[in-house]
């Protein structure tokens, strides 16, 4: 558990969510000095520390109480929860809010030259993904007998590199699929960024600070509508 007196918030260091997370913190009135390429940034006007880490590490940091809050994509949250359900690690978190940025979908895709395919085509095929748990659950649900190839990055080049027949990856604008000659199929999961809190957080000062920030968060969301 974090015995630090300052509220610790984990955000993505670099990637799709980073800019929006930094903007959100700014709109919440958290003054940060993010100039240095540091792991931790201390807020100057509130007892808040921001940890900048890989998005995939955020759910675990919050579940284990290393950080009190985290901003992460529902896709990453769901994958880590499924992964941890199979082990003895804690997987519960409190979802405080669904945020209005970071929308993407986890979808199947395959080489364009193969043309349109139905679900049955995936039988006996290899599918590369960074989300093996979510994909396996989908395959089971749909009764598809395919094998899952886990890749932590560059999933979109897997078919061309001969590592897999198809992929299951995040699609936002679709530019990555297009640039790699891939055709988009079924959506397995739709996702937004969300704000999560450690379930066992009991520090009164930290909870009071969160209570102060939540109405501001709702205000920011309303202002955008």
CB of 207 to Zn ion, least distance (A): 30
Counting every residue written for the chain, the total comes to: 225
Considering only residues 39 to 58 of the shown chain, the ones binding Zn ion according to CB under 5 A are 55-56
Minimal distance in Å, beta carbon 23 to Zn ion?
20
| DSSP track, 134-182 | HHHHHHHHTT---EEEE-SS-GGGTTTTTS-SEEEEEESSSHHHHHTTE
Binder of residue 171, out of ligand PRP, Zn ion, none (CB less than 5 to 8 A by kind): ligand PRP
Q: Per rule CB under 6 A, is residue 170 in the interface with ligand PRP? A: yes
| Residue from the set 120, 174, 208, 212 that interacts with ligand PRP by CB under 6 A | 174
**Do the Cβ atoms of 149 and 126 come closer than 8 Å?**
yes
CB of 48 to ligand PRP, least distance (A): 25
Examine residue 192 and tell whether it contacts ligand PRP (CB under 6 A): no
The helix/strand/coil state of 48 is: strand
> What phi and psi, each to the nearest 5 degrees, are found at residue 126?
-105, 130
Nearest-angstrom CA–CA distance, 55 and 141: 27
User: Bridge partners of 105?
Assistant: 171, 190
- Applying CB under 6 A, which of residues 86, 87, 175, 223 lies at the interface with ligand PRP? 175
Nearer to ligand PRP, 1 or 150 (CB): 150
Cβ closest to ligand PRP, residue 43 vs residue 168: 168
Residues that bind Zn ion (CB under 5 A): 55-56
């Amino acid at each position: 558990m974090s015995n630090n007196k300052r509220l610790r918030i984990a955000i993505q260091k670099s990637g799709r969510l980073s800019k929006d997370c930094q903007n959100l913190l700014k709109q919440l009135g958290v003054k940060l000095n993010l100039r240095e390429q540091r792991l931790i940034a201390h807020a100057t006007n509130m007892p808040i520390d921001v940890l900048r880490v890989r998005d995939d590490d955020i759910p675990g940091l919050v579940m284990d109480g290393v950080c009190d809050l985290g901003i992460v994509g529902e896709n990453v949250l769901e994958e880590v929860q499924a992964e941890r359900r199979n082990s003895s690690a804690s997987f519960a978190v409190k979802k405080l809010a669904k945020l209005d940025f970071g929308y993407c979908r986890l979808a199947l895709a395959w080489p364009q030259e193969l043309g349109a395919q139905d679900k049955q085509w995936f039988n006996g095929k290899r599918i590369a993904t960074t989300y093996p748990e979510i994909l396996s659950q989908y395959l089971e649900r749909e009764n598809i007998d395919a094998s899952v190839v886990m890749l932590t990055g560059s999933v979109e080049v897997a078919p061309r590199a001969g590592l897999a027949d198809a992929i299951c990856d995040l699609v936002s604008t679709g530019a990555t699929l297009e640039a790699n000659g891939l055709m988009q199929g079924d959506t397995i999961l739709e996702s937004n960024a969300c704000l999560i809190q450690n379930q066992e957080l009991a520090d009164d000062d930290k909870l009071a600070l969160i209570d102060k920030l939540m109405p501001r968060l709702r205000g920011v969301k309303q202002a955008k509508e």
